[in-house]
Structure 1
Amino acid sequence: MAALSPKEVENAMRTYELMVILDPNLEERTVAPSLDTYLNVVRNDGGSVDNVDVWGRRRLAYEIDKNAEGIYAVVSLQAEPATVKELDRQLTLNESVLRTKVLRPDAR
């Protein structure tokens, strides 16, 4: 088995978990379709979205932008690191997104 070059390692597909907290003033039924438009960034770059789980409205531990609640969504996906970075950047620019957190569940 040949060793991967640094460029191949950098561009390897990895598993990620993305948590998004959205503005509580949004309707919960519109959350998944609006997230889907952002997740097309992953699909267009050859990645895959494994699961979109909308947890619904939950109380925040502390207020974010004067909101005591937020709509939580958790997305499992496989993508290259650069693609996930671009997805996170685009979500952060959206005013209805209060917070994002990207994790690699297999990272140690």
Structure 2
Amino acid sequence: MMRKYEGAFILLANLEEDVRNAEIEKVKNIITERQGTIEKVNEWGQRRLAYEIDKKREGYYVFVDFTSEADAVNEIDRICKISDNFVRHMITVEE
């Protein structure tokens, strides 16, 4: 069943722009490969973290609104966990 989600991703602040864009593309590709649709991508850019994570004070914030099946969410979750470039990520269902 297709559902609406919002993904919040914090990437390492010191990533090269092309590496960061590749990571964002990877997330978007997982959604589209599974017949999902991307509603909106909102890049907040470099921000100070609310608290230190792994000795890091800053992160690059990206928000993605999308519609997809649950398997796309599971795959994004898996990719973010194994990638060192993501500091934190969270995907929530929009009611």
> Aligned runs of 1:43-82 on 2, under 5 Å?
43-82=32-71
**Counterpart Cα distance in 2 of 1:95 and 1:16:** 23
Larger RCO (CA within 8 A; separation ≥ 6): 2
Please give the root-mean-square deviation of Cα atoms over the aligned residues, in Å. 1.5
Aligned-pair CA distance for 1:15: 0.3
Q: Which 4+ runs in 1 deviate beyond 6 A? A: none
Instruction: Report what 2:27 is aligned to.
Output: 38
Shift of 1:92: 1.6
Q: Where does the alignment leave 5 or more consecutive residues of structure 1 unmatched? A: 1-11
Given the alignment, which residue of 78, 82, 86 partners 1:93?
Answer: 82
Q: Secondary structure at the match of 2:74?
A: helix
Q: Which residue of 2 aligns with 1:21?
A: 10
Task: Tell me which structure has the larger Cα radius of gyration.
Answer: 1
Structure 1 residue 39 displacement after superposition: 1.8
Partner SS, residue 66 of structure 2: strand
Of 32-41 and 76-85, deviating more is: 32-41
Deviation at 1:29, TM superposition (A): 6.5
TM-score, with structure 2 as normaliser:
0.90
**What amino acid is aligned across from residue 15 of structure 1 in structure 2?**
K
